[in-house]
Structure formats: structure tokens, C-alpha cells
């Protein structure tokens, strides 16, 4: 009898009802703006005035269709896509090369170089903005995506070097010995042995940089005014003036700019959490 009662109360305790209440409450607060964003993209222009938060009375895809029909929209997306892909590729390529060297070359010089990179994790690159504008002017890359690539690459390298060096250093040394015995050069060891082994760390670095680069407003806002070179986020800043009365359309563009990253996150949330909190907690 007594035992049964005890297991029963334990069972109830293990349901953690107060905890669920807190978490449900916060989940609601966290998701409400997202609901507001997506649900309103399916409403016709006028309905948003009478029905602000609810489901649309008549669902429509009209907002998405008219967005797809405009060619600007594709230009912005292409630009954002290019910026993310090229910057990420370079961060991973250049960063893994350096990490490969720093993990194996153990000397005073290499320690100094390593720390020089790692300090950059603590300092926001925005501090360098004024000088960067002048550098881009000199290079003649203002108003083009080529002003964004090098900044994002530089910005991503400290974390890339930190995470990848630690990771490569943790790999068992015998893996290379075998390659060396077969007479493989260092570069072959790098791309045939090291690269496949460090894939999980590369994924972490990629995600760590993907979100801030896709979502960055600061540098496009400062470097780019030309229509054909704008990123999605920069284009979003002009919405309010442009379609100030057509709120469902504004929300549709906001939704489309957020959708790629949200989708990617939902598909691989574990790696995302690991990636976005990397750099602070080792590994």
C-alpha cells in the first residue's frame, strides 16, 4: 500500500507539471511573433486591418505569387546566397589549412599566431568599420559584393581557426603516420585524410558563420547602395517606404528572408545549437 502510494507520487512528480507550464508559456511567447509573421502572409491586403492575429478567413497565395513575379526579389536572394556560399567556402578552406598547420607545427611562433587569431573571437569587427570603408574605397570594391566577401571571411576566421585547430589536434597521430609511410605529401594528407575526418567540426564552423552572414545588415548597409548588389536584408530595410500600405506583402518578404535559415535549422537543429554556441564552450 505504502509503496504503491510512493511510486504514484513519484510518478506525478516526474511529470514535472510546473516545469511544463513554464516551458509552454515561454514557447507561446517565443512562437507568437513567428505565427503573426507567417499567418498574415496568407491574407488579402485588407483583411489584416480587421483581423490582426487570427487565421485568414480566406487563404490566398497572392502575396507569394506577386513577390515571385518581381525580378528584384531574385537578384537580392542570389546576392545573399552568393555572399553566404563564397564566404563560407573560403572560411572553411583557408581556415582548415591554417588549422592543419597550427595543429602540427608546435613552436613559439605558431603559438603566437594561434593566439593572435583567437583574440579576434572576443572583438567585434564593427570597431574596424571606418578604416574598412577606406580600404574598400582604395580597392574600388564599394558597391559590390566583393566588399562583403573579405570582411565576412576575416570575421569568420578566428572561430574557424580555434575550433578546427583544437579538433585536428585531438585526432590520433597514427592516422597521418600511415599516410606518411606511403609517401603522401602534406597537402595530400590534408585533403585525403584530414578533411574527411574533420567534417563534423567543419559543419560547426559553417553554421556558426552562416546565420550571422545571412542576417548581417551592418556591412551591406554601409558598403552597398546599388540596387543590383543588395542583399535580402538590405532590401528589406526599404520596404516600409515602398509598400507602406500593403502590409501582407511586407510580411511576405520578411517571411521569405527568414524562411531559408529557419528551414535549415528545423532540419538540423542539433548541429545548429552546437554551431551557434560554439566558441564559448570548447568543442
Partner 1 sequence: MMAKSKTAQAFQGSKSIKPGGVYWVRYILPALAFYVVFMAYPMLDSVRLSLYEGTAGVRQYVGFANYVRLFTDEVVSKRFWNAFGNNWIFFAYHMILQNALGITFAAILTNRTMKGRQFYQTLIFIPCTVAVLVTGYLFKMMMNPLWSKAPLAKIGLDFMIHSPQGWLGDPGTALSAVSLVSVWQWVGIPTMMFVAAFQGIDDDLIEAASIEGATPWQQFTRIRIPLIVPVIGMVAIMTFVSNFNAFDVVFAMETLDGAPNYSTDLIGTLFYRYGVAGQHPVGIPEPGVGSAISTSIFCMLLCGVIPVLVKTQGKE
Residues 61-100 that bind partner 1 (CB under 8 A): 90, 94-95, 97-98, 100
Backbone angles phi, psi at 160, to 5 degrees: -60, -50
Using CB under 8 A as the binding rule, whether residue 241 contacts partner 1 is answered as no
Looking at the Cβ atoms of 1 and 275, the one nearer to partner 1 is 275
Using CB under 8 A as the binding rule, whether residue 118 contacts partner 1 is answered as no
Burial 235-266 (b: 16+ CB within 10 A, else e): bbeebeeeeeeebbbbbbbbbbbbebbeebbe
Looking at the Cβ atoms of 185 and 196, the one nearer to partner 1 is 185
Window 250 to 279, contacts with partner 1 (CB under 8 A):
250, 254, 257-258, 261-262, 265-266, 269, 272-273, 276-277
Applying CB under 8 A, among 67, 86, 133, 268 the residue interacting with partner 1 is 133
Using CB under 8 A as the binding rule, whether residue 235 contacts partner 1 is answered as no
Q: How far is the CB of 146 from partner 1 (least distance, A)?
A: 12
Window 154 to 173, contacts with partner 1 (CB under 8 A):
154-155, 157-158, 161, 173
Using CB under 8 A as the binding rule, whether residue 22 contacts partner 1 is answered as yes
Q: How far is the CB of 29 from partner 1 (least distance, A)?
A: 7
Window 189 to 228, contacts with partner 1 (CB under 8 A):
189-190, 211, 214-215, 217-218, 222
Using CB under 8 A as the binding rule, whether residue 56 contacts partner 1 is answered as no
Greatest C-alpha distance within the chain: 84
Three-point CA angle 227, 69, 76, nearest 5°? 30
Q: How far is the CB of 19 from partner 1 (least distance, A)?
A: 5
Using CB under 8 A as the binding rule, whether residue 23 contacts partner 1 is answered as yes
State how far the alpha carbon of 58 is from the alpha carbons of 42, 44, 128, in Å: 8, 8, 50
Window 177 to 196, contacts with partner 1 (CB under 8 A):
177, 180, 183, 185-186, 189-190
Amino acid at each position: 500500500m505504502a509503496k504503491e502510494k510512493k511510486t504514484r507520487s513519484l510518478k506525478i512528480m516526474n511529470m514535472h507539471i510546473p516545469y511544463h507550464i513554464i516551458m509552454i508559456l515561454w514557447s507561446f511567447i517565443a512562437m507568437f511573433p513567428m505565427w503573426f509573421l507567417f499567418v498574415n502572409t496568407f491574407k488579402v491586403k485588407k483583411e489584416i486591418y480587421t483581423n490582426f492575429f487570427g487565421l485568414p478567413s480566406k487563404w490566398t497565395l497572392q502575396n507569394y505569387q506577386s513577390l515571385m513575379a518581381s525580378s528584384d526579389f531574385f537578384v537580392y536572394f542570389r546576392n545573399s546566397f552568393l555572399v553566404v556560399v563564397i564566404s563560407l567556402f573560403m572560411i572553411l578552406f583557408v581556415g582548415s589549412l591554417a588549422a592543419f598547420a597550427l595543429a602540427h607545427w608546435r613552436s613559439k611562433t605558431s603559438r603566437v599566431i594561434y593566439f593572435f587569431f583567437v583574440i579576434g573571437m572576443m572583438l567585434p569587427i564593427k570597431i574596424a568599420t571606418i578604416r574598412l570603408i577606406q580600404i574598400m574605397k582604395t580597392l574600388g570594391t564599394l558597391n559590390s559584393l566583393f566588399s562583403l566577401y573579405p570582411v565576412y571571411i576575416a570575421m569568420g576566421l578566428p572561430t574557424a581557426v580555434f575550433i578546427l585547430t583544437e579538433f585536428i589536434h585531438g585526432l590520433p597521430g597514427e592516422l597521418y603516420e600511415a599516410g606518411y609511410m606511403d609517401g603522401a605529401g602534406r597537402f595530400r594528407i590534408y585533403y585525403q585524410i584530414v578533411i574527411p575526418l574533420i567534417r563534423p567540426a567543419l559543419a560547426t564552423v559553417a553554421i556558426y558563420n552562416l546565420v550571422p552572414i545571412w542576417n548581417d545588415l551592418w556591412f551591406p548597409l554601409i558598403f552597398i547602395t546599388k540596387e543590383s548588389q543588395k542583399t535580402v536584408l538590405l532590401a528589406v530595410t526599404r520596404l516600409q517606404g515602398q509598400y507602406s500600405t500593403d502590409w501582407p506583402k511586407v510580411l511576405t518578404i520578411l517571411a521569405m528572408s527568414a524562411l531559408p535559415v529557419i528551414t535549415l535549422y528545423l532540419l538540423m537543429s542539433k548541429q545548429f545549437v552546437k554551431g551557434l554556441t560554439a566558441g564559448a564552450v570548447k568543442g
